[in-house]
Structure 1
């Protein structure tokens, strides 16, 4: 046995590990003596042999070599490139076990980071999917060259090495058809894929979106040039294989040496600039750049739970502090007196206003700017008297300090927090619930099946003794 002073594992050494936990990125965790190992593609209950790849003082990373004893929760991954692709991390885990894992993860973050006693919180059962595959309405495929030919697929984990594959099983079935058509077009007209190393080549990515409620399809080709040669021929080929469902083909120009997928300029070469889709009975127009939840089936359930937690009777004024293209705002508007949405991205607010007109929803107003500045200014100027409910759906980094301070000054009756990162959710709730608010309900929604990510929605209610300070 190696002692604490001799934990000098060498790269390439083979170790035997029992997997007892999961890490923050879905990798398995196990120990040998006092040393902790992170091993991708393993699940709790596995006994594995792994090859040491990298070590630190008290922990290290190893690569799965073989499984000595399978966990009862282990299943065969449906995707043939599940281990090499950087996408799904939980395909080898039984889906019921995945749901338990995600529920426990969120609750543990609230206990450990937020210091919450959850015995007084109404925790609902995680909302999973009936079929956790073919749910993504948006996919972005990198293109490259290998052995002299154009290829596409997905980046391997933490690399820009393309795993050649055209049928991701959490993506739509039409992806395979589109990618084959684009590759055939490239070969026929000698259009090369982009080369990251020397900046040569033209096609960098292909973005595909689908409206699940409408069946409408969008294809956006990202190029390292001002124009795509023979783009008319590409459109004809796509129309032939996709038929009337193809509503938009566009070209996005990105000539920068960057990891950012989309450039600043997009022009349409076929059909409309957008496709349409519904969340519930609210219609949305979606452009290549639009932020729109990638799982429409679960989004309807997520927003339905947010609406339930907001407890609207038709008399309330609601602020949506990270409104994006207005998805939550418009979903809530039919049950509220008035909804105000704030978003720092101007293009998103333009989309939100267009979506409000599209649905003939008049009891909404959208602002461009920082939420804390807009809301405070409107309140201090007397434009708004009552704020009954605040809804937030921030990025993974959570709320910034000014946003939290503003919420604690305004003290709405309820705060509904939709989160895609339960660790930052727990951090923010700890501050909000220190004095003024009480955490009442929590629901976890499996928005990203077969990956370690998930969504949560909670509601906080203002304590009776709390007083507004603005």
Structure 2
């Protein structure tokens, strides 16, 4: 084995061969790989070595000696520093191709699907200003309360006033609330000492409704000068329907605590998706890119190809966004979700939309599905939309035993999706289509929709 001779702070030159899954340029010098953020394939670059490991190292980009045709001017250097826009230097068509390649490689490497062509990535209608939710830390910087985001791989706050990928109205609201909190000299939380009050500011805004929810996350059980603070926020923030105080005294990285109280307005806000109305709480999961989520769900509905006589399973249903769309086209839908509050909201949303053919139950998917099987339920179509860790093996085995004709897999992590699809394939299911969907432009994250059909 050749000895590693590279040293920290050494300056090197090389040609970028590829992008890593994290969007870093991959450069090989004398066969040794370096990952360099901000570099693109086919570029010739000069970089400084910042870390050398046994198998690879990391470098900091110093100069682009020959740029890629896919390079575009970045909007904001800070977006690269804090990791919110790691692909902003790559053209949007280039981002879409990169994400298609990511999914293709995951399915080949992890799922061993070497003879399947992944379709082109579905582009977002707007690759900027798409996020309907912000959750930003509050910290004291140079003696002043600031909102922003943590520098990559640290908890050092970088003050930010324009995130570029968030709804511009949300960015404005963040600054309004920050200035109000400054006016009342409220302290920011300090992670090292565990002291200070204000931890995070969460803002949610309905894409269609324009309704706004603000959550103040505090390291305590009350807000000093509460009446005056609330009065100012209510007077200044357009579209506000809900102002919530969330109590989080934990020392971990969790943003929201379990206890909260309404300071003004209601405990929820409303928005629409695919023509259905949804009530959304502060702790409910709701897709952050509403127009592109609608496109994703349309793809899921088309893959399910329902005709009104089917019984459909919807696993990991959240507040019912996919469930209710399925219920409009199926005979009946059985849906499950681990968060009890989300199930209560899903039931309310079904009633509000006059849909009576959907049954919701709270609990772990791997517990509820075997119970439904014991009750004699079977399903024509299964729709699954699990968290990043993918499907639990008990759930997979039970679903295989139930033998639905189609499985529609909506994934936020193509790697675990590929792993799960391989298990289904071994049991007699054929992967028919794999469609990447760009829910998060300017970032490396990608969703994928997979249709599997029973072959036996």
TM-score by length of 1: 0.94
Shift of 1:8: 2.4
Matching residue of 1:69: 66
Tell me, what secondary structure is at the counterpart of 2:237? Answer: helix
Question: For the residues of structure 2 that align with 1:371 and 1:182, how far apart are their CA atoms?
Answer: 39
Matching residue of 1:36: 33
1:378-412 deviations in Å (ceiling 9; x for gaps): 23233x2x310111111111112111111111110
Matching residue of 1:303: 297
CA contact (8 A) 1:89 1:452 kept: yes
Question: For the residues of structure 1 that align with 2:171 and 2:227, how far apart are their CA atoms?
Answer: 21
Shift of 1:293: 0.6
Matching residue of 1:333: 327
Shift of 1:176: 3.0
Q: In structure 2, which of residues 155, 160, 165 is the aligned counterpart of residue 165 of structure 1?
A: 160
In the TM superposition, 1:261-300 aligns within 5 A as 261-300=255-294
Question: For the residues of structure 2 that align with 1:134 and 1:364, how far apart are their CA atoms?
Answer: 34
Tell me, what secondary structure is at the counterpart of 1:82? Answer: helix
Shift of 1:291: 0.5
CA contact (8 A) 1:306 1:418 kept: yes
Relative distance call for 1:373 and 1:179 in structure 2 (3 A) is: closer
Shift of 1:6: 3.4
1:238-264 deviations in Å (ceiling 9; x for gaps): 233323x11111110111111100011
Matching residue of 1:468: none
In the TM superposition, 1:144-223 aligns within 5 A as 144-223=139-218
Question: For the residues of structure 2 that align with 1:12 and 1:302, how far apart are their CA atoms?
Answer: 45
Matching residue of 1:401: 393
Matching residue of 1:443: 435
1:105-126 deviations in Å (ceiling 9; x for gaps): 112221222111445x6x5432
CA contact (8 A) 1:34 1:58 kept: no
Tell me, what secondary structure is at the counterpart of 2:426? Answer: coil
Matching residue of 1:47: 44
CA contact (8 A) 2:180 2:233 kept: no
Tell me, what secondary structure is at the counterpart of 1:90? Answer: coil
Shift of 1:78: 1.2
In the TM superposition, 1:227-376 aligns within 5 A as 227-243=222-238, 245-376=239-370
Q: Which runs of 5+ in 2 are unaligned?
A: none
Tell me, what secondary structure is at the counterpart of 2:78? Answer: coil
1:59-108 deviations in Å (ceiling 9; x for gaps): 11111122222111111111241221121210000001110111121122
Structure 1 moving runs of 4+ over 4 Å: none
Question: For the residues of structure 2 that align with 1:410 and 1:210, how far apart are their CA atoms?
Answer: 40
1:351-401 deviations in Å (ceiling 9; x for gaps): 11111112111000111122233222223233x2x3101111111111121
TM-score by length of 2: 0.97
CA contact (8 A) 1:437 1:461 kept: yes
1:134-161 deviations in Å (ceiling 9; x for gaps): 1001110101112211111011112111
Q: Which runs of 5+ in 1 are unaligned?
A: 466-470
Tell me, what secondary structure is at the counterpart of 2:182? Answer: helix
Question: For the residues of structure 2 that align with 1:96 and 1:15, how far apart are their CA atoms?
Answer: 30
Number of corresponding residues: 456
Q: Indicate whether 1:142 and 2:137 are aligned.
A: yes
